[in-house]
Amino acid sequence: MTKQNVVVSDPNSGINTATFTAAAVQKPPPAPGSCINISRKTLVEINSGPRINSWVDSMRASSPTHHKCTSLSEDNTSWMVHHPSALDMFEQIISASKGKKMVMFLDYDGTLSPIVDDPDQAFMSDAMRGTVRKLARYFPTAIVSGRCRDKVYSFVQLAELYYAGSHGMDIEGPSKDSKYKKGAQAALFQPASEFLPMIVEVYKELLDKTNSINGVRVENNKFCVSVHFRCVDEKKWGELAQQVKSVLKEYPKLRLSQGRKVLEIRPTIKWDKGKALEFLLESLGYANCTDVFPVYIGDDRTDEDAFKVLRERGQGFGILVSKTPKDTYASYSLLEPSEVMIFLRRLVEWKRLSLRRQSKIQKQLEEIKASLKN
């Protein structure tokens, strides 16, 4: 039985959904709100295209210790020039958002919680939770994760946020009528629901095919499946890739993407974190607004779809959480979740002070009006 299985691919790896031309890193970051064009790379068939070696190369590339660059310091300098720290650029970011409604989108793993070996132990700190809670008081805030929605909710535990799980394929957003009203009925959107039985089947097959490989972890994320190789001996990566490939070959309606030491199997539908961001903006009533300022913070290749959408809309910007230089559509960078927390706290503090200032001015105006009447 021959079945076609097509993925959007980096010719070097053959398996990424989010790869970019060098133009993305050679240009200086645009002013927040401006837009650049970056072209996608070609489509490659799994069966006829990349060989297992290319899969393994790509798996290696997802490990920062294997970051390919001729001179690390040169690379770092260029990276910081083109993707400066969002903390250093805080004032510029605030001034670009002036008069606009800021909407926050946060990835979970590697952004709100540190990367750990066991995906079930990737807890966010109470301090981070407290910060996100305060953030959501001032700005509409959504979590956009590759994990299934229930799981990411069980980690975040904040009912006041919106959640997009399974790489955006399972969204609990605001209801269309209510826009951003506290306590309003949440609306569910699951564009890949027809794939549920297939995902269950593939999950079982992947469990079965990979269980002899030490350290593999297969995670059912409801509308997608994650095959983790963080704890697999590198010598076994080829064997793992081979097994995953052999399962995927039988499912032409599924495709493969890659995250941090994880292979992600997901439906071929044109839906990703970028689409989820647009869907949420629309649900919040900001679809055609020129005065909306979305900020997306994420650390993974799958977050690039959202960064790209922001570039194309010419609204807001993306912040990549990374300690190493990477090709990205994001405009700014932060090193790790602890810096994300500092950035979010500064946003909260800035908003609190500016609201306080506004109400003080309002009060003074009212006093002046009252004194003129007398």
Ligand X SMILES: O=P(O)(O)OC[C@H]1O[C@H](O[C@H]2O[C@H](CO)[C@@H](O)[C@H](O)[C@H]2O)[C@H](O)[C@@H](O)[C@@H]1O
Q: Which residues bind ligand X (CB under 6 A)?
A: 107-110, 115-117, 119, 122, 145-147, 219, 221, 226, 228, 230, 259-262, 264, 300, 302
- Is 107 marked active-site? yes
Min dist. Cβ of residue 263 to ligand X (A): 9
Q: Classify burial at 47, counting beta carbons within 10 Å of its beta carbon; exposed 0-12, middle 13-18, buried 19 or more.
A: middle
**8 A C-beta contact, residue 156 and residue 164:** no
Minimum Å gap between C-beta 282 and ligand X is 21
Residue 157, sorted as left (phi over 0), alpha (psi -120 to 50) or beta, turns out to be left
Nearest to ligand X of 205, 305 (CB atom):
305
Residue among 14 and 259 whose Cβ is closer to ligand X = 259
- C-beta of 108 vs 286, nearer to ligand X: 108
Smallest gap from Cβ 225 to ligand X, in A, equals 9
Nearer Cβ to ligand X (97/258): 258
Q: Are 29 and 82 in contact (CB under 8 A)?
A: yes
Buried b (16+ CB within 10 A) or exposed e, 108-121: bbbbbbebeeebee
Q: Is 299 in contact with 321 (CB distance < 8 Å)? A: yes
Candidate list 57, 107, 109, 272, residue with the active-site label: 107
Residue closest to ligand X, measured at CB: 146
Beta bridge partners, 334, equal 321
Q: Which of 45, 246, 221 is nearest to 149 (CA)?
A: 221
Residue 265 C-beta: closest distance to ligand X, Å = 10
Name the residue among 137, 140, 109, 131 with its Cα closest to residue 302. Answer: 109
Q: Give the catalytic positions in this structure.
A: 107
